[in-house]
Structure 1
Amino acid sequence: MNVVAIFDIGKTNKKVFLFNEKYEIVWEKSVNFEETVDEDGFPCENIVLLKNWMLEQLSEIKSLTNYVLKAVNFSTYGASFVYVDKDGNPLTPLYNYLKEYPEALKDEFYNKYKGKQVFALKTASPVLGSLNSGMQIYRLKEEQPEVFTKVKYCLHLPQYLSSILTGEFFTDITSVGCHTNLWNFRKMKYHKWLKKENIIDRIPPFHYGKDTIKTKDGLLVGGGLHDSSSAIIPYTANFTEPFVLLSTGTWSISLNPFNNKELTFDELEADCLCYLQYIEKPVKAARLFSGNVHEVQTKRLAEHFNVPIDAYKEVYYDKKITASLRAINYSIVFSKKTNSGVLSECVFEKRNLSDFKSYDIAYHQLMLDLVEQQVNSTNLIIHNSPVKKIFVDGGFSKNSLFMNLLAEAYPEMEVYAASMAQASALGAALAIHDSWNTKPIQNDLIDLKFFKH
């Protein structure tokens, strides 16, 4: 059977999948690596281990007699640069985007380029330090000029993995278009600072997400995609009516491919940003740290009520409980209407758990507070766009309380829990569909469960 191999590289889990022509997963493997450290002793990805593991997996796949490997593509976490020399060999560790950024260097940069507010608006990039991956290049140039002179290309991680197989060097719009400080969204081209700092020549040309490169042995290799942009591809492939995708995990990210309005500074302050799809259309996005809040607060609840840490999995939506909680807390929850206030802190963090008679009631209150936050966050990107459906994937899509409360909050919308195996890997496979797959894309790639309000 014909298959495509997708390397889906997360910060923790490294996975490889084989999809058949119907986009069913027919083979998979995953691994976790010990991190190494950079020259400052800060933990970072072991790029040598990753490269060797990828090549080993590829040679194993080629030896499988029941599959014919047609193509390979990559979906990886973003905000990560590999600096290579003229032979394509890395010159530095793969610096971690969680690494603290020197304040003096950051201030010097923004002062040079009209200040944080103007710059953030042009590049649709909130000020995030190392998470603005372009700032990592600037830091290398300023702090290690002797290394920087040897850099032939600055490659985002997906394109580095692709270059290992092709020997060719490219840039991908989904990696550049995601809070990198590199892209001027108003002019839809690189920001001029790259030219002024003599960096632009070290950024290779664009490679379109749908195109592949043919290697000597006839394998078709994609240029790779940023995982956040890749995860939306199955949805845009299956649905044409305007929708918002709420992708939930540690972060809950609301993605609206049907909102191309420019970001305002207030939206940037409220943790909104823009992604670029592989077809170069902007996706407006809003982030909320709600998965993390849920994790911390369910631990607090478990300790207080002396129940197992995952007791919430047995709590089901109860209309009577939510109605009585709303009656008591209406003034508290709904008075904090300023977006930044609601978004920066969940009300529940300040609540006294002794006010609740039972774990179930307290958990209902936590979810009411989290959904209130979520609605404020999602509304930032729904605003003035023709959205009729909300798809929720990831952890909260399996939480009946979250889903029912969200459906109640959007009576004019259709709210669905969406499930699909490995969205970002599937997206990377679909992006290069025309290169390797002669069958049409099916319209049942995603399982949907409708929630009535």
Structure 2
Amino acid sequence: MPVPVIAVFDIGKTNKKLLLLNEQYHIVFEQQTSMQETTDDTGDPCEDLPLLVNNMRQQLAAVLAMKEFEIKAVNISAYGASLVYIDENGAPAGPLYNYLKPYPEALLTRFYNSFGGREQFSHQTASPALGSLNAGLQLYRVKHQQPSLYSRTRYVLHLPQFLSYLFSCAPFSEMTSIGCHTGLWDFTRQQYHPWVSLEGWLDKLPPITPTDHTTPVQLNDKAIRVGIGIHDSSAALLPYLLQFREPFVLLSTGTWCISMNPFNHEPLTSEELQQDCLCYLRYDGRPVKSSRLFAGHAHDTAVQQIAAFFREDPRHFKELPYDPQVTGQLVSSPEFSILEMSRYENSSAAYHHLVMMLVKQQYHATRLVLGQTTIGRLFVDGGFARNNIYMHLLARVFPDMEVYAATVSQASATGAALVIHNSWNAGPVPGHLVQLKRYAATF
């Protein structure tokens, strides 16, 4: 008998994965793809959307043809702050602009002057002023600087919802995507900010639909439920919310390292906004105070440079053991710098110093979301959870908290499967989705 499974596409900036999970949430199949970026219509780097679309369609067709699995549902976990403009035929009308694309300063000034000023707007939308990372401002730029693309656009879809649309052909908007520092949502009134209506966009934004909604479709003559997609950081939080009742902070690590406190409901302060704090929205619409650090990207860039300087394989650093003697010697050194490799005795010292700097930055970023809440546990998932040096150093800077490397097999994908559990899974949600390994502070 074929095994009942859900297929989840977990689409990150760097890695794209297709996973099949059985009813016990065990991964029974995994395929990972890395894709080269292309450039948009002004020469800036961007996701190769046609390549991504073709790859996903081919991958799903291949697993649908496997005799050993019965695919009951499909859902998407994907990065946010990215919009796809689709035309009347449902095809992309333009590039998938990168959220790091430079934003025209004059247009930014015009925007904030039109809608209450930068500080007031940021407070209302729980979105620090981040240029293109505020996805709503991407749409504003398209309307005011690319009228041809704007006029061809029937719907504007957040990336997770567009990737769902590939299989469901049903356009939706969804809370976790709207709530990831887009500047679209008024957190005080719990509805779209008035500027969305003033710009005349409500007919281009599909109806907001619950994150657990699924659409019945026929794929390869098989009846399948297709979820509407979920923002990857919000998806990664879901297994923890289901398993743990005592207050915790989740540090989800990847390209961005995001500290999420689902138990801090204090309004964002001006100071927090200036330090890149924001509120996400949970799948149930409740806010999650969060801070962001571009630490995974900084780590990977520096590792390549350390490896090149010392003529070593970059993979060597993944297995490097934690050496407190090395960190002890580096405590009084100047900050790590990729421009000063010659001052390190070997690559291990350079790498330890890099991680020390990242953990110091992470300490300040995570402290910002603690607020007045009493938090006893810090869970770390993603790439840094598997990094012994990082985890030991993190436990050192948070001696009053229990620091755990948390293992959820593919947390974002698992969250995407969990959020539509009732649409595909006949069994109960397992009670031990998250496995923990505690790190004690060692000096």
Offset of residue 363 of structure 1: 4.7
1:149 equivalent in alignment to 2:137: no
The corresponding residue for 2:389 is 401
The corresponding residue for 1:264 is 269
Moved more, 27-36 or 369-378: 27-36
- Structure 2 Cα separation of the partners of residues 402 and 12 of structure 1: 21
Q: 1:117 to 1:59 in 2, by over 3 A?
A: same
Q: 1:27 to 1:266 in 2, by over 3 A?
A: same
SS in structure 2 of the partner of residue 231 of structure 1: helix
In structure 1, what residue type is equivalent to 2:234? S
- Structure 2 Cα separation of the partners of residues 50 and 293 of structure 1: 25
- Structure 2 Cα separation of the partners of residues 299 and 61 of structure 1: 35
Which string of whole-angstrom CA distances, capped at 9 and with x for unpartnered residues, describes residues 257-288 of structure 1? 11121111211111111111111111111112
Offset of residue 94 of structure 1: 2.0
Q: Root-mean-square deviation (CA), in Å?
A: 2.6
The corresponding residue for 2:171 is 169
In structure 1, what residue type is equivalent to 2:226? V
List aligned pairs for 1:55-70, cutoff 5 A: 55-70=57-72
1:285 equivalent in alignment to 2:285: no
- Structure 2 Cα separation of the partners of residues 215 and 438 of structure 1: 19
In structure 1, what residue type is equivalent to 2:291? A
Offset of residue 178 of structure 1: 0.5
Q: 1:313 to 1:233 in 2, by over 3 A?
A: same
SS in structure 2 of the partner of residue 168 of structure 1: coil
- Structure 2 Cα separation of the partners of residues 232 and 166 of structure 1: 25
The corresponding residue for 1:378 is 366
- Structure 2 Cα separation of the partners of residues 402 and 90 of structure 1: 41
In structure 2, what residue type is equivalent to 1:204? P
Offset of residue 302 of structure 1: 5.6
- Structure 2 Cα separation of the partners of residues 391 and 149 of structure 1: 46
List aligned pairs for 1:55-94, cutoff 5 A: 55-94=57-96
- Structure 2 Cα separation of the partners of residues 297 and 434 of structure 1: 44
In structure 2, what residue type is equivalent to 1:224? G
Moved more, 17-26 or 213-222: 213-222
Which string of whole-angstrom CA distances, capped at 9 and with x for unpartnered residues, describes residues 89-136 of structure 1? 222222222222211111111111122111111111122221111111
Offset of residue 293 of structure 1: 3.8
Offset of residue 308 of structure 1: 6.0
1:438 equivalent in alignment to 2:426: yes
The corresponding residue for 1:214 is 216
List aligned pairs for 1:424-435, cutoff 5 A: 424-435=412-423
- Structure 2 Cα separation of the partners of residues 52 and 300 of structure 1: 34
List aligned pairs for 1:202-281, cutoff 5 A: 202-216=204-218, 218-281=223-286
The corresponding residue for 2:97 is 95
SS in structure 2 of the partner of residue 286 of structure 1: strand
- Structure 1 Cα separation of the partners of residues 423 and 269 of structure 2: 39
List aligned pairs for 1:335-374, cutoff 5 A: 347-349=335-337, 363-374=351-362
Q: 1:401 to 1:194 in 2, by over 3 A?
A: same
- Structure 2 Cα separation of the partners of residues 200 and 170 of structure 1: 12
Contact 2:302 2:338 in 1 (8 A): no
SS in structure 2 of the partner of residue 61 of structure 1: helix
Contact 2:305 2:338 in 1 (8 A): no
Query: Out of 361, 375, 380, which is 1:392 matched to?
Result: 380
Offset of residue 181 of structure 1: 0.9
In structure 2, what residue type is equivalent to 1:117? E
Q: 1:125 to 1:202 in 2, by over 3 A?
A: same
Which string of whole-angstrom CA distances, capped at 9 and with x for unpartnered residues, describes residues 341-379 of structure 1? xxxxxx333997677666655554444433222211111
Query: Out of 180, 183, 186, which is 2:185 matched to?
Result: 183
Query: Out of 2, 5, 9, which is 1:3 matched to?
Result: 5
Q: 1:294 to 1:38 in 2, by over 3 A?
A: closer
Q: 1:61 to 1:312 in 2, by over 3 A?
A: closer
Give aligned pairs, total: 436
- Structure 2 Cα separation of the partners of residues 46 and 121 of structure 1: 34
- Which runs of no fewer than 5 residues in structure 2 stay unpaired? none
Q: Among the aligned pairs, what percent are the same residue?
A: 47
- Structure 2 Cα separation of the partners of residues 58 and 314 of structure 1: 34
SS in structure 2 of the partner of residue 232 of structure 1: helix
List aligned pairs for 1:5-20, cutoff 5 A: 5-20=7-22
Structure holding more helix per residue: 1
Contact 1:258 1:386 in 2 (8 A): no
Q: 1:147 to 1:318 in 2, by over 3 A?
A: closer
The corresponding residue for 1:343 is none
Q: 1:56 to 1:348 in 2, by over 3 A?
A: closer
- Structure 2 Cα separation of the partners of residues 66 and 378 of structure 1: 44
The corresponding residue for 1:130 is 132
- Structure 1 Cα separation of the partners of residues 338 and 168 of structure 2: 54
**TM-score normalised by L of structure 2:** 0.90
SS in structure 2 of the partner of residue 449 of structure 1: strand
- Structure 2 Cα separation of the partners of residues 225 and 208 of structure 1: 10
1:451 equivalent in alignment to 2:432: no
Q: 1:363 to 1:43 in 2, by over 3 A?
A: closer
Which string of whole-angstrom CA distances, capped at 9 and with x for unpartnered residues, describes residues 28-64 of structure 1? 3233444443332333333333333333333322222
Q: 1:182 to 1:369 in 2, by over 3 A?
A: same
Which string of whole-angstrom CA distances, capped at 9 and with x for unpartnered residues, describes residues 55-84 of structure 1? 333332222222111111111121221222
Q: 1:180 to 1:437 in 2, by over 3 A?
A: same
Moved more, 369-378 or 100-109: 369-378
The corresponding residue for 1:339 is none
- Which runs of no fewer than 5 residues in structure 1 stay unpaired? 333-346
